[in-house]
A and B are shown apart, each in its own frame.
Chain A
Amino acid sequence: MNVAHQVERFRHNGHSHSHAQAHHSTGPGKGHRHVAIAGNPNCGKSTLFNLLTGLRQKVGNYPGVTVERKVGRFYGLHGEPMVLFDLPGSYSLQVRSPDEAVSRDVLLGREAGTPQPDLVIAVVDASNLERNLYLVAQLLDLNLPMVVVLNMFDMAERSGIRLDVAALEEELGVPVIPVVATEGRGIIELKTAISKATLTPPLKRPPMPEAIDAEVRTLAQTLPLSPNQAFSEALLLLTLHDRALEDLAAHRATVVAGVTAAQNRLKAEGMDPLCVLVEARYEWINRICQRAVVKPSRGGSPSLTDRLDRVLIHRVWGWVFFIGAMTLMFLSIFTLAQIPMDWIDSGVHALASWLGGHLPESHVRSLLVDGIIPGVGGVLIFLPQIMILYFFLGLLEDSGYMARAAFLMDRVMSIVGLHGKSFIPLLSSFACAIPGVMAARTVENRNDRIATILVAPLMSCSARIPVYTLMISVLLPRTAPLTKAAMMLALYGLGVVAAFSLAFVLKRTFLKSDASMLLLELPPYRKPSLRNVGVCMKERAGLFVTRAGTVILALSVLLWALVSFPKPADPSVSRGEAMAQSFAGQMGRGIEPIIKPLGYDWKIGVGLISSFAAREVFVGTMGIVYNVEGDEKAGDDATKGGTLRDTMSAETRPDGTPVFTPLVCLGLMVFYVLAMQCIGTLAVVRRETNSWRWPLIQIALLSTLAWVGAFAVYQGGRLLGFH
């Protein structure tokens, strides 16, 4: 992919690709200086970006939050307009994943529709100068005006590291500014530095063996680019490995011939270009650090991060903390959320009663009272739970704990054969499987990637929360919140176990690949910023409410139409019978033979079918189905006083036995954990795998798994004497 992009660059000779313009949130302006923020992952680039632009880009204390360049505008100290690019974190310009390629392409001016930056702000973590300076060395080779920001300077000082800023400036040949981005310290100095009209390209370059320097310059002359860009491109080309060169050869034979000849000449002198360059850069870094960095003696007491990590990544206590934190999160979802949920519930009921009392008997009244209000209101009621979930996830992300969770899970993932890089896609799938499936593209091995994509929908996404909560409250109506939280945790756990088990089977059958190592950076713990957590909660709440007001609203109208039409020829038939004859009733009855062995009736079948559009629609569907029918059963308006949970608990079969028995509730929950009921995910899997084969295998596999799981719970439970 990276090579293809490189080829494209040569074909277009630096001009834009048409397709990339549309998604600039702020297009690069004419007469503006273009400034790029670059640096290692998790060194505070997005925090600095937000500080300079006043925007609220998502930040988090773990690597890989930014996977795309973000654009914003700001003004220098003298009011000069600037366009700022926040780039994904990268350890090197020799990229290994697509998000790193975005950084490289913007910095080298390959990015479509974006000129090469006029200025680079290289952000480095002041506590980890040795590691961060490698990328700085490559950025210096770009020969662009540059400012180095020593971010988190306070943390470095607190941990006893002393940095000689003047010596660093002298060694690097560019301005070096100590900054604490989270507190805004050093920002005036930074703005002063980047506003200087006299800012020049670096006065020095990292040393490079003469033979390599000569080959790079010769190669650069053959490239149809500006001298600066040609030098940087030639330097990267010279370090490409054989396979990347083979891919490139198909498109640009003359360039490849030049690169291969240069590499061969260097090899004849006993030099591997990449190895020699890496060694030279690290020698340079060591020399700088010896002069400019004084580290605390090793005899000092361990840092707070080290002391916390002794517990949090311990092979026993780590898991105890992890499970405890998750239990606390789900407990809060059931206790703290109850009060605002009751308020929303009362509001929804009051609105339905008021409309029911004021509107004349008509289709419009029925559409509002039986369709839209229970459909949308039934989903909207779960907003407090979603917000509490993201409050806790925000705290865990911002504190730096998520990387520890990844570390703990990597042990389990390596047992089942999944690559450690699969953790982030699977973690993303807890919010929604779609970004999870997309994030799987960072997994380099094809079989690992396909396995990750196939199991990602088994992670319980936020759309399942309304279904889980409703079914738990029907199953355990008067149980303590702790039991309900444990039940919720068990459902999430079941999804994880199912995903790992399926991955285990897939990786040992038709998706075999060699195990590979995971390198994971554990960031220092930081005090979570309530502002960042608030931004995360607001974003998720906004998405949830928008969905309720758009897709769920439209589906509620359609479902009401499906349960209300066609009207029976004989108007004297009961409303329950009329609904059974409706389109929805016919659909539900159509799949009844398949779902009957699971203990479900056709009304649950209607819920299952509607869930394919969006899982949370199941709750709205139950609201509509039982509201339409309940009008007759308990007199007009009577059901609107009771909750959906009470209505469902009271629902009986023709023989008088309850529909929602404990086994049916449990089976239904297991079904929702395992089933892949999401058209959006299917479409994305098709896009990501570029064929219908994998999405079809996936839906067949997961649907079978869900049916077998629910069947085992219901029939197995009955065999054991439960009901």
Chain B
Amino acid sequence: MNPILDQILVGAVIAVALVYFIFRKKKCGAGCDCTTARLKRNVK
């Protein structure tokens, strides 16, 4: 593989992963169905 193309591809994947990880919408996590989150907004 062309070394420059190799570096560009890997750099782009790392950049996308980093941006996703930092700016992803923080959800409640593995077991959350988010109804409790909505409940909280509702009763505020």
Among A42-85, those with CB < 8 Å from B are: 58, 66-70
**In the complex, what's the smallest C-beta–C-beta distance from B20 to chain A, in angstroms?**
5
Is A434's beta carbon under 8 Å from chain B?
Answer: yes
Is A553's beta carbon under 8 Å from chain B?
Answer: yes
Chain B: CB-nearest residue to A58: B33
- CB-CB under 8 A from B43, the residues of chain A are 1-2, 5, 98, 101-102
The digit string for B6-31, where 1 denotes a CB below 8 A from any CB of A, is 11011001100110110010111111
> Does the CB pair A557–B29 fall under 8 Å?
no
**In the complex, what's the smallest C-beta–C-beta distance from B42 to chain A, in angstroms?**
6
Among A422-449, those with CB < 8 Å from B are: 428, 431-435, 438-439, 441
- CB-CB under 8 A from A683, the residues of chain B are 26
Chain B: CB-nearest residue to A24: B38
> Does the CB pair A367–B13 fall under 8 Å?
yes
- Given the contacts A20-B41, A441-B40, A561-B14, A547 and B6 also touching, CB distance less than 8 Å: no
> Does the CB pair A550–B24 fall under 8 Å?
yes
- Could you tell me the distance between the alpha carbons of A53 and B14 in the complex, rounded to whole angstroms? 44
Which bracket fits the contact residues of A?
A: 35 or more
Is A40's beta carbon under 8 Å from chain B?
Answer: no
- Could you tell me the distance between the alpha carbons of A280 and B8 in the complex, rounded to whole angstroms? 78
> Does the CB pair A557–B13 fall under 8 Å?
yes
- CB-CB under 8 A from A101, the residues of chain B are 43
> Does the CB pair B29–A23 fall under 8 Å?
no
Interface of B is mostly: helix
> Does the CB pair A432–B30 fall under 8 Å?
yes
> Does the CB pair A362–B31 fall under 8 Å?
no
Is A508's beta carbon under 8 Å from chain B?
Answer: no
- Could you tell me the distance between the alpha carbons of A70 and B35 in the complex, rounded to whole angstroms? 9
> Does the CB pair B29–A438 fall under 8 Å?
no
B21 contact from A70, A543, A558, A678, Cβ within 8 A? A558
**In the complex, what's the smallest C-beta–C-beta distance from A566 to chain B, in angstroms?**
13
- Could you tell me the distance between the alpha carbons of A543 and B20 in the complex, rounded to whole angstroms? 18
- Could you tell me the distance between the alpha carbons of A396 and B21 in the complex, rounded to whole angstroms? 36
- Could you tell me the distance between the alpha carbons of A102 and B44 in the complex, rounded to whole angstroms? 11
**In the complex, what's the smallest C-beta–C-beta distance from A351 to chain B, in angstroms?**
17
- CB-CB under 8 A from B6, the residues of chain A are 362-364
> Does the CB pair B17–A557 fall under 8 Å?
yes
- CB-CB under 8 A from A20, the residues of chain B are 41-42
Is A360's beta carbon under 8 Å from chain B?
Answer: yes
Among A247-285, those with CB < 8 Å from B are: none
- Could you tell me the distance between the alpha carbons of A539 and B36 in the complex, rounded to whole angstroms? 16
> Does the CB pair A434–B39 fall under 8 Å?
no
> Does the CB pair A68–B28 fall under 8 Å?
no
- CB-CB under 8 A from A112, the residues of chain B are 42
Chain A: CB-nearest residue to B1: A362
Is A462's beta carbon under 8 Å from chain B?
Answer: yes
- Could you tell me the distance between the alpha carbons of A462 and B29 in the complex, rounded to whole angstroms? 10
- Given the contacts A1-B43, A363-B6, A678 and B29 also touching, CB distance less than 8 Å: yes
Among A446-492, those with CB < 8 Å from B are: 461-463
> Does the CB pair A434–B1 fall under 8 Å?
no
- CB-CB under 8 A from A434, the residues of chain B are 28-29, 31-32
- CB-CB under 8 A from A363, the residues of chain B are 6-7, 9-10
> Does the CB pair A681–B29 fall under 8 Å?
yes
> Does the CB pair A435–B26 fall under 8 Å?
no
- CB-CB under 8 A from B44, the residues of chain A are 1, 19
Among A212-267, those with CB < 8 Å from B are: none
> Does the CB pair A98–B39 fall under 8 Å?
yes
Interface of A is mostly: helix
Is A589's beta carbon under 8 Å from chain B?
Answer: no
> Does the CB pair A19–B31 fall under 8 Å?
no
> Does the CB pair A23–B20 fall under 8 Å?
no
A19 contact from B21, B33, B35, B41, Cβ within 8 A? B41
- CB-CB under 8 A from A66, the residues of chain B are 35
Among A511-560, those with CB < 8 Å from B are: 539-540, 543-544, 547, 550-551, 553-555, 557-558
**In the complex, what's the smallest C-beta–C-beta distance from A541 to chain B, in angstroms?**
11
> Does the CB pair A461–B31 fall under 8 Å?
yes
The digit string for A73-105, where 1 denotes a CB below 8 A from any CB of B, is 000000000000000000000000011011001
- CB-CB under 8 A from B26, the residues of chain A are 680, 683
- Could you tell me the distance between the alpha carbons of A539 and B42 in the complex, rounded to whole angstroms? 24
Among A292-330, those with CB < 8 Å from B are: none
The digit string for A99-129, where 1 denotes a CB below 8 A from any CB of B, is 1011001000001100000000000000000
> Does the CB pair A435–B28 fall under 8 Å?
yes
Is A388's beta carbon under 8 Å from chain B?
Answer: no
Is A167's beta carbon under 8 Å from chain B?
Answer: no
> Does the CB pair A550–B28 fall under 8 Å?
no
Chain B: CB-nearest residue to A439: B36
> Does the CB pair A435–B42 fall under 8 Å?
no
- Could you tell me the distance between the alpha carbons of A364 and B12 in the complex, rounded to whole angstroms? 11
- CB-CB under 8 A from A438, the residues of chain B are 28, 32, 36-37, 39-40
> Does the CB pair B35–A554 fall under 8 Å?
no
- Given the contacts A68-B38, A102-B43, A441-B40, A555 and B21 also touching, CB distance less than 8 Å: yes
> Does the CB pair A684–B28 fall under 8 Å?
yes
- Could you tell me the distance between the alpha carbons of A613 and B10 in the complex, rounded to whole angstroms? 22
> Does the CB pair A544–B30 fall under 8 Å?
yes
The digit string for A148-186, where 1 denotes a CB below 8 A from any CB of B, is 000000000000000000000000000000000000000
- Could you tell me the distance between the alpha carbons of A624 and B30 in the complex, rounded to whole angstroms? 22
- CB-CB under 8 A from B3, the residues of chain A are 362
> Does the CB pair A435–B13 fall under 8 Å?
no
- CB-CB under 8 A from A550, the residues of chain B are 20, 24
> Does the CB pair B9–A462 fall under 8 Å?
no
- CB-CB under 8 A from B29, the residues of chain A are 432-435, 463, 678, 680-681
- Given the contacts A363-B10, A367-B10, A435 and B39 also touching, CB distance less than 8 Å: no
> Does the CB pair A463–B30 fall under 8 Å?
yes
> Does the CB pair A680–B28 fall under 8 Å?
yes
- CB-CB under 8 A from A614, the residues of chain B are 30
- Could you tell me the distance between the alpha carbons of A656 and B36 in the complex, rounded to whole angstroms? 51
> Does the CB pair B28–A428 fall under 8 Å?
no
- Could you tell me the distance between the alpha carbons of A363 and B36 in the complex, rounded to whole angstroms? 43
**In the complex, what's the smallest C-beta–C-beta distance from A560 to chain B, in angstroms?**
8
Chain A: CB-nearest residue to B14: A561
**In the complex, what's the smallest C-beta–C-beta distance from B30 to chain A, in angstroms?**
5
B residues near A, CB below 8 A? 1, 3, 6-7, 9-10, 13-14, 17-18, 20-21, 24, 26-33, 35-44
5 pairs of A and B residues whose beta carbons are closest in the complex: A432-B31, A431-B31, A557-B17, A438-B36, A554-B17
Known: A23-B41, A678-B29. 12 other contacts (CB 8 A): A5-B43, A69-B42, A98-B40, A102-B39, A428-B31, A432-B32, A438-B37, A550-B24, A554-B18, A558-B21, A681-B29, A687-B40
Could you write out 25 A-B pairs with CB less than 8 Å apart? A19-B41, A58-B33, A68-B36, A69-B42, A98-B43, A102-B43, A111-B42, A112-B42, A362-B3, A363-B9, A432-B28, A432-B32, A438-B32, A438-B37, A441-B40, A544-B30, A550-B20, A554-B18, A554-B24, A555-B21, A557-B13, A558-B14, A558-B17, A558-B18, A680-B29
